[in-house]
Chain A
Amino acid sequence: MCGIAGVIAKDGQLPVFRLLADMIGAEQHRGEDSSGFAFYGSPASHYILRLRCTEGSEASHRKAVLDELESLAGPSLDITETNLGDAADGVDPSFMRLIVEGDEESVREFARLAPSAPGVAMHSIGRSVEIVKDKGTASDIMARHGLADFVGTHGIAHCRLATESRVDVEHSHPLWGFPRPDVTVVHNGQLTNYNRLRRQLEHEGHKFSTSNDSELIAIWIAKRLDEGATLREALEESTQTIDGTFTYLIATEEGIGMAKDRLAVKPLVVGENATMVCMASEAGAVAAALGTSFDSYEPIENVVITWPVSTQTV
């Protein structure tokens, strides 16, 4: 199974984390191995890098990771660590949040190199997005990562019942679309041509951080966006190129898109009210965000929908 969820404001900002946590909480029975969130706010002038120190949470490891990333970044980028709280508050100190300041070209080069740094598991980089994911349920993550107050324009989330790859933080969703900043995916299903497409993408120089097939969707879509495709075009092509069962949500700084395979085996319910559009695997999760009164529908097979920031469905 697995559950996915997304929310986007029709205008202004929303308490994105709280909404997504409520939605995932309402469909957590679809998977309790891990949960994760990608939050989007209005693009900042700097980039935010979310990562985890895989070697441990001691200060020495964190320092080593920071030094390594600073040397990769070179003189054109400034890296500052944000304090996420103390272990005493329940915040896991192996998770780090870095502010990266500099020109886009240097940041992109850095984003290309950083995932290979020793002891670094890179979760996201972007001017708009931050990924927070961990083992356990949405409420576990709320307790461990202290995000309840996050306000933004949109976001996507996932609860995982692992089928194709291991259960750890890095194999959890959302997954980042290396190397393009701000592209993330949550996926319910499994891909049948993953190995072939992965080899093709690796041949073109793309790096995979996990053996989770869903990562391929993010990287493939990010590649098409970098090649000039619109999100809708990339999604439409993906339903022809990517094979298997899938309903997935892709988020970028510009909004959210969904695609469903031609057999329509994986669910999605879309509901909206005056202030937001919500999408989730189950109607109960949509209701957790929208209350009892909302219009809803279930997208059909082979369909692509995009919801840009601050506008309604196009």
Chain B
Amino acid sequence: MACFDADGLTLRDVNAGLREAAAGGEDVTLVNPNYRHNLCVAWRIKGSRLNVEGSVGYYFAGLNNGGHFKVSGNAGWGVAENMTSGSVVVEGDAGHCAGASLNGGFLYIAGNASPRAGISMKGGTIVIGGNAGMMTGFMIQKGQIIVRGDVGDGIGDSMYEGEIFVGGEIHGMGNDAIMETMTVDDHRLVEEKLGEAGLTVDRDYEKIVSGKKLWHFDKKDWELWHK
């Protein structure tokens, strides 16, 4: 396993050095990430594994396509933003907009997630082990978000498609988000995705989907949006 120390290096040198270290197929450990932004952005080395010892700043592993990342601490805003494939595991908490515009892959936040996790996601899966903030799954178009704990107000606001599953308390539904009965397939999906994160189903989950009333919004139907 290769060890890469980010201390004292420019961001460009860190990201180039990490790619070089991972190119040969070896697992890489990054030390001294020091909350820096934009680490491992636009990673394209399929099947590579990178462990981060510490906490990262904004946009960690944004645009990831094929890398597998694990962060031992917290992640700042926009972790795994726009990921296409691969996986990102954050063992601590994540800042706002975790997995924003996610296209594919697997994002697991073991701790809590701040507001707007999975905003406008278009595919892939987000699993949140703890609680999630307001507007989780805002404008989600495809994919799944599974929250084991509680969610803040406005869950699934203006969602188009996709599903959100919540194991804890829901503090308020978003505009045009509705609850639907869990099917056998839904139970199987939740179990499978929690399993990918190393978790088991230890509680009941609610399923939230789009009410589809805002698909063809007309100003005359103002109250549908602004309840």
Listed in ascending order, the chain A residues whose CB lies under 8 Å from chain B are: 26, 29, 264, 267, 282-284, 287, 292, 296-298, 300-301
Contacts and interface: CB of A to CB of B under 8 A. Distances in A.
B155 to A, nearest CB: 13
A294 to B, nearest CB: 11
Contacts of B55: 283, 287
Contacts of A264: 96, 114-115, 133-134
B77 interface: yes
A262 to B, nearest CB: 9
A46 to B, nearest CB: 41
Contacts of B54: 292
B67 interface: no
Contact of A283 (B74, B96, B115): B74
A301 B35 contact: no
A29 B74 CA distance: 20
24 contacts: A29-B37, A264-B96, A264-B115, A264-B133, A267-B95, A282-B57, A282-B76, A283-B55, A283-B74, A283-B76, A283-B95, A284-B34, A284-B35, A284-B36, A284-B57, A287-B35, A287-B55, A298-B93, A298-B95, A298-B96, A300-B134, A300-B152, A301-B115, A301-B133
Contacts of A297: 93
Nearest to B92: A296
A301 B57 contact: no
Interface size class of B (residues with CB under 8 A): 10 to 19
Contacts of B34: 284, 287
Interface string B67-109: 0000000101100000000000000010110000000000000
Nearest to B58: A282
B10 to A, nearest CB: 13
Closest 8 CB pairs of A and B: A284-B35, A264-B115, A283-B35, A298-B114, A301-B134, A300-B133, A287-B35, A284-B57
B115 A300 contact: yes
Nearest to A292: B54
Interface in B95-144: 95-96, 114-115, 133-134
Interface in B46-75: 54-55, 57, 74
Interface string B9-37: 00000000000000000000000001111
Nearest to A298: B114
B96 A267 contact: yes
B54 to A, nearest CB: 7
A72 to B, nearest CB: 48
A296 B115 contact: no
Contacts of A292: 54
B90 to A, nearest CB: 13
A301 B152 contact: yes
A28 to B, nearest CB: 13
A300 B93 CA distance: 14
Contacts of A284: 34-36, 57
Most buried by A among B35, B95, B152, B153: B35
Contacts of B115: 264, 300-301
B126 to A, nearest CB: 18
A31 to B, nearest CB: 15
A13 to B, nearest CB: 27
Contacts of A26: 35
A29 B133 CA distance: 27
Contacts of B37: 29
